[in-house]
Structure 1
Amino acid sequence: MLSPFEWMIAKRYLWPGKGEAFIALVAGISVGVVMLSVAMLVIVMSVMNGFRAELLDKIVGLNGHAIVQAYGGRLENWEGILEKVENTPGVTAASPLIEQPLLISFGGRVEAIFLRGETDEDVANLADKVVIGDIAALGGGSERVAIGTRLAQNLGIRVGDTITIINPQGRSTPFGTSIRQVPYEVAAIFEVGIYDYDEKFVVLPIKDAQTLLLMGDSIGMIEVTVEDPDKVGDILRPVSEELAGQAVVADWKTINSALFEALQVERVAMFFALSFMVLVAAFNILSSLVMLVRAKTRDIAIMRTMGATRRSLLKIFVTTGTTVGAIGTMAGLALGSVVLFFREPIVGFIAAVTGQEIWDPEVRFLSTLPSRTDPWEILGIVMLALVMSFLATLYPAFKAANTDPVQVLRYE
């Protein structure tokens, strides 16, 4: 704790006098650099966290946390396997699913798609993602489908139009294999928010998918949702062991391992690189305090002769430098919060000024710039900035505390 005398001197040194404008400028630059470094760390780490969380939420929301898939792509007698999975501790939901790459034709154009046959409950869960149309119109035997927004834009498809889904694996005839071409009415257009999904996915009831693909009563896989996504491997290990040789269990970490590992590496690398900005800010604080000590050498000597202890001088300069770091840190948190709140308009403004697509959904997977702030991570950034600011004060503070008043005042 500072005494009233120490606090009074520290406050005076925080605002250098009129004849010390250069020292004030350096101190102001120090605050600015700390502010910018903290703001950059907050912004980048929040965006990286948001990107990972949003990507995970959207992928898991459509595919579940894991899938149970038979060797050969067709799961026979799946009802018993589904019951085993549902009764596994930690599993919250499990449902049959068909996913098959096919082709669609509309207006003389052909596009590759991923056909998804889902249960009525899973189809109904897309209701909050529907942009136009009625997802409830999809029902077994209705011959209606829902498609992604990007696919609709690419082919110029609107609700009510009829598309043709092409299945190369048709029925065998005396004249060869007959390719199946089945017309379906587009009942709804949805937007998941992941570019690849919105561009490729066509959803229809699982019964219609079985009929189209000539699968009988078999399915392609079972999608599983668990209580804790990070422990999905441990939760489904008993199922994987029991179905060994019959089916394979793949969780979201395995299916999207390359993507999420790349995100993790990039996140760590960005934090490490941007941490050097905090180090630069600390050096600015150090340089401003060194200049302040040199400018106040005579004052320090006088205070020593009046009874100020080395400990008091040490506390004064440590408080001065740490306060500069704290002000910069708080300002950085405020700046980072403002930028994150207005991130979409800022991205749009930069794109309009530069004429470049800053956030290309084809590259970034997501259609909007996400953000998710981790309180513990923010606390870590604040602690890093404050600790670096504190360490930067030690050298000039010890220099001031070790000032010899006899040497300084000898010729006064």
Structure 2
Amino acid sequence: MILSPFEWTIAKRYMLPGRGEAFIALVAGISLVAVMLGVAALVIVMSVMNGFRAELLDKIVGLNGHAIIQAYGGRLDNWQDILKKVEATPGVTRASPLIEQPLLASFNGRVEAILVRGNTSQDIARIAQKRVAGSFADLKPGSDTVVIGSRLAENLGAQVGDTITIINPQGRSTPFGTVPREIGYRVAAIFEIGVYDYDNAFVVMPIPDAQTLLLTGDSIGMIEVTTRDPDKVMDYLGPLKEQLAGRAVVTDWKTINASLFEALAVERVAMFVVLSIIVLVAVFNILSSLIMLVRAKTRDIAILRTMGATRKSLLKVFVAIGFVIGAMGTLTGLALGMLFLFFRQPIVHAVEYVTGQNLWDPSIRFLTDLPSRSDPVEITVICIMALVLSFLATLYPALKAASTDPVQVLRYE
């Protein structure tokens, strides 16, 4: 919709407050602010929800792979042959043997539940990228060294160089019963994955050391698999799943974390619908301000009609006024949302300082920091939705203005 110089002049005149029109200008300003806040809220919430899902997926899948092949009974014998079959499967980019067992760890009288992970040197090298203290160079088979999560180190009070005791209830049998197996390991390094549950429980060591600790011989617990596309993991592993039927079960990341990611998907849709109502309320403000403007300018509209202004011109003028308010609110809301996302962590800390409340407890939120990942497609949809609703809100008052009968208005002038 292109406005002529005459139409644009009238539109600008009506958008600027005149004498006796301060209230109309105030309502129009409130409408702009309401659209701005609605768009900003949508951009912020959807970006945080996307970031939360993406960060969880990156960290959980990045550490555990896209699928797990686990033997019935927890021990996978002759795993080398299965590993070769997995590596030869089309679509698989990486396959690694893994041992994972919940145990106990103690240090200076403190006892914590832990999750012992026996990893290959390649997997340990990937975890080394998350190191916050110490060195992974000493983590070698037979060295009796481990690396632990940052939260676990805090809970135990252990630091790099300290020796923690790992307790395995399945120890040696004696005439007096089974004696738990207790082995001391030196803490070579501390890492931080960024997922609270992992940093709070993981103790990583080489696979041979884990086999010795757990008395499993040459067997392992599972094989973790990484594929080219996480969403097609079962398409890749379908034939292999049939071959391993009765020996092992293949579980993908969607099944392992189904409840978490399904809850996130439902919450994401619900938040979008609820926050869209804010934009809808702002659009009704635009509608009310335009109706007030049309009623205040009825005499001016009648005079313009007598001077030759067409119904189409008046329609375009009032549509342009409302659309400009919506467009300015959308653009400023988009800028405000991006500014908030850029400074999101300092803002969270500032609110925590003012309120005295912990707004982002990692033990509840899984992640240590507030994540954000903006989707250009979603942001475009949000902006288009706000602009379309703003346009629709202008139609009724614009049609009302265009249908003004100058004879009826100016009869007694």
Equivalents in 1 of 2:250, 2:311: separation in Å? 68
Whole-angstrom CA distance in 1 between matches of 2:216 and 2:239? 28
SS class of match (2:302): helix
**1:340 matched residue in structure 2:** 341
- 1:282 aligned partner: 283
Answer whether contact 1:96 1:119 (CA < 8 A) is retained: yes
Note if 1:293 corresponds to 2:294: yes
Aligned to 2:180: 179
Question: Which letter does structure 2 place at the counterpart of 1:387?
Answer: V
Q: Which amino acid aligns with 1:275?
A: S
Give the Cα–Cα distance (whole angstroms) in 2 for the partners of residues 341 and 88 of structure 1: 42
In structure 2, what is the equivalent of residue 6 of structure 1? Answer: 7
What does 1:45-194 align with in structure 2 at a 5 Å threshold? Answer: 45-194=46-195
Query: What is the CA–CA distance in structure 1 between the aligned matches of 2:301 and 2:12, rounded to whole Å?
Result: 15
Q: What is the CA distance between 1:77 and its match in structure 2?
A: 0.6
2:196 match: 195
Cα distance between partner residues in 2 of 1:11 and 1:238: 68
What is the letter of the counterpart of residue 30 of structure 1?
Answer: S
* Cα pair 1:109 1:155 within 8 Å, conserved: yes
Tell me the C-alpha RMSD between the 2 structures.
0.9
Listed as ranges, the gaps of 5+ residues in structure 2 are none
Read off the aligned partner of 1:260 and give its amino acid letter: F
Aligned position for 1:250: 251
Structure 1, 347-356 or 165-174: larger mean CA deviation: 165-174
Structure 2 partner of 1:407: 408
Deviates most, 272-281 or 124-133: 124-133
**Retained in 2: the 8 A contact 1:124–1:136?**
no
Residues of 2 paired with 1:240 and 1:69: CA distance? 11
Q: Distance in 2 between matches of 1:238 and 1:299?
A: 77
Helix, strand or coil: the match of 1:96?
A: strand
Using the TM superposition, give the Cα deviation of residue 233 of structure 1 relative to its aligned residue in structure 2, in angstroms.
Answer: 2.0
| CA deviation after TM superposition for structure 1 residue 171, in Å | 2.7
Aligned to 1:308: 309
SS in structure 1 of the partner of residue 21 of structure 2: helix
Question: What is residue 354 of structure 2 aligned with on the other side?
Answer: 353
Output one character per residue of 1:135-193: Cα deviation in whole Å (capped at 9) or x when no partner. 12101111100001111111100000001111111233444323211110000001111
Cα pair 1:322 1:390 within 8 Å, conserved: yes
- Give the Cα–Cα distance (whole angstroms) in 1 for the partners of residues 315 and 13 of structure 2: 15
**1:227 to partner: Cα distance:** 1.0
SS at match of 1:19: coil
By how many angstroms is 1:19 displaced?
Answer: 2.4
Query: Are the aligned partners of 1:133 and 1:159 in contact in 2 as well (CA < 8 Å)?
Result: yes
> Which residue of structure 1 aligns with residue 397 of structure 2?
396
Write out aligned runs for 1:359-370 (5 A).
Answer: 359-370=360-371
| Conservation of the 8 A alpha-carbon contact between 1:58 and 1:193 | yes
Structure 1 residue aligned with 2:42: 41
1:377 alignment counterpart: 378
2:183 partner SS: strand
Q: Which whole-Å deviations, capped at 9, do the CAs of 1:79-135 have from their partners, x for residues lacking one? A: 111111111111111100000000111111211110000001101111221110001
Deviates more, 1:95-104 or 1:105-114: 105-114
Distance in structure 1 (CA, Å) of the matches to 2:14 and 2:229: 53
**TM-score (structure 2 length as normaliser):** 0.98
Letter in 1 for 2:144: E
Contact 2:112 2:155 in 1 (8 A): no
Give, in whole Å, the separation in 2 of the partners of 1:16 and 1:409: 24
Distance in structure 2 (CA, Å) of the matches to 1:236 and 1:387: 45
Once the 2 structures are TM-superposed, how far is the Cα of residue 302 of structure 1 from its aligned partner? 1.1
* 2:243 alignment partner AA: E
Contact 1:100 1:114 in 2 (8 A): yes
Aligned to 1:238: 239
- 2:274 is aligned to 273
1:21 maps onto 2:28 in alignment: no
Residue 209 of structure 2 corresponds to 208
Alpha-carbon distance between aligned partners in 2 of 1:95 and 1:18, rounded to the nearest angstrom: 76
Aligned mates of 2:358, 2:399 — CA distance in 1: 52
Residue identity matched to 2:233: V
Code of the aligned partner of 1:370: P
**Mapped contact 1:78–1:218 kept (Cα < 8 A):** yes
Aligned-partner Cα distance in 2 for 1:204–1:287: 67
Contact 1:317 1:393 in 2 (8 A): yes
Aligned-partner residue type, residue 121 of structure 2: D
Q: Does 1:224 align with 2:230?
A: no
The 1-side partners of 2:234 and 2:298 are apart by: 65
Which piece of structure 1 moves more, 33-42 or 295-304? 295-304
Assess if the C-alpha contact under 8 Å between 1:190 and 1:198 holds in 2.
yes
Mapped to 1, the partners of 2:331 and 2:19 lie a distance apart of 26
- 4+ residue runs of structure 1 moved beyond 6 angstroms? none
Query: Which 10-residue stretch deviates more, 47-56 or 7-16?
Result: 7-16
* Equivalent position amino acid for 1:64 in 2: G
Write the letter of the residue equivalent to 1:384.
Answer: M
Sequence identity of aligned pairs in percent? 73
Distance between the aligned counterparts of 2:257 and 2:146, measured in 1? Answer: 27
